[in-house]
Homo-oligomer: A and B are copies of this chain.
Amino acid sequence: MRSVSDRSRALKGSPIRRLVPFATAAKKRGIHVYHLNIGQPDIPTPESFMRGVREADIDVLSYAPAPGIHATLEALIAFYADMGVALSDDEIRITIGGSEAFAFALQITCNPGDDVLVPEPFYPNYNGHAVMNGINIVPITTKVEEGFHLPPIEEIREQVSPKTKAILFSNPGNPTGVGYTRDELKGLVDLAIEHDLFVISDEPYRELMYEGHATSILEFPELGERAILVDSISKRLSACGARIGCIVSRNPEVIAAVDKLCQIRLSAPTFSQLGLVSFLNDPDYATAIEDIRTQFHSRRDTLFEALQTIPGAVCRKPEGAFYIFVKFPQIDDSEEFVKYMLNEFDLDGETVMVAPGAGFYATPGVGHDEVRIAYVLEESKLLRAVEILKAGIEAYAASREGAVTTAG
């Protein structure tokens, strides 16, 4: 019997997904699980978005235009104008979530066998798309002690080879919450110009920045046709299920390629595009986004402060997004730790699920003492989750010591 293709087999399932059955089993045993393992917030989607969907005046639910519904594109252009970036309608296309925009960016910039430089830890789905397209991710390791900010540009330059086609990052970052400074980004921009590389900037969390200004890649005009923005409404509107994003480029060759890719997948979902028009045409849309930002800001502060009570925890206060990436020296293998929390531990019938760190690194052996915590629940729950985490880490460390002793 014929097997599936090599790249299908090479595709790794995410470690978080592998752990989900353990959470399901814990719930079956009556344990309450605080899910801080995924980037799915609990914040209600703005009413103006929902109204746009409900009140859509549609008789025939026909294909939307492949590049996006005209009114949606216009609304997005106005949105970027509000943030100080002027775009023409030749520079933006609507995609099926940021995921599709990212896949397009990778397919358009790289041939199979090409390299992309990516600061690690990084969003694991970058890996999946790279594998499916035969593209190599070359990791630039960043460190918890430095708040996951970039290493000196010389270290990054050393990784550039003739096969390098692009630099890719998310900013503010998933999974670390790092918000790059303008100077850091300028270093990457200059490097890209020097070596003639594309820069793919994934910015779904751009509005979720709590310290300083979230600098978009579009704010570097010197990058010209090399900049590709990957964007999504999922996080800033708490509308992950809408599946609406966009890709922005001032490179006509890139947009021409995007147009052809849009044609072969026909269109992005109509209802969600109309929801977005309704949201962005609401005069108060910026307030709605600001409300979401304020909630996450407060959650970040609460979670960060609570984490300081866990002995040995290493983390810097992240500037944006809704993640904190923490090192716990007591944890030798964070995937085992997550399993332990789900299988063997509870505090008064409750436990916590976080994401193990190693899955966010391409470099083998790194991140096993780290976890990503997503602050996607309200503050009282975050506080309780940290309390459980603290007790769980202590119990896990004790159980490992016992195991080591027994083994010896």
Contacts and interface: CB of A to CB of B under 8 A. Distances in A.
B253 A99 contact: no
A197 interface: yes
Contact of A2 (B7, B198, B234): B198
B254 A270 contact: no
A132 B7 CA distance: 14
A263 B13 CA distance: 8
Contacts of A63: 40, 234, 240-241
B60 A41 contact: yes
Classify chain A's interface size. 35 or more
Interface string A242-266: 1100000000011001011101111
Stoichiometry, as copies per complex, reads 2
Contacts of A253: 3-4
Nearest to A42: B60
A197 B3 CA distance: 10
Given A59-B45, A108-B5, A128 B271 contact: no
A2 B42 CA distance: 42
A60 B269 contact: no
B61 A238 contact: yes
Interface string A101-117: 00100011111101000
Interface in A20-64: 40-45, 49-50, 53-54, 56, 58-64
Given A111-B5, A196-B2, A269 B266 contact: no
Given A43-B60, A196-B2, A11 B257 contact: yes
B60 A45 contact: yes
A184 interface: no
A96 interface: yes
Contacts of A330: none
Nearest to A242: B61
Contact of A49 (B5, B61, B132, B269): B61
Given A2-B198, A226-B2, A260-B128, A59 B40 contact: no
Contacts of A298: none
A320 to B, nearest CB: 20
Given A5-B109, A60-B45, A61-B49, A268 B243 contact: yes
A50 B271 CA distance: 10
A384 interface: no
Given A61-B49, A100-B265, A108 B8 contact: yes
Interface string A300-330: 0000000000000000000000000000000
Given A225-B1, A243-B269, A257-B8, A264 B109 contact: no
Across the A-B interface, give the 10 residue pairs with the lowest CB-CB distance, nearest first: A128-B264, A241-B270, A8-B257, A269-B269, A45-B61, A61-B241, A11-B260, A63-B240, A61-B239, A271-B271
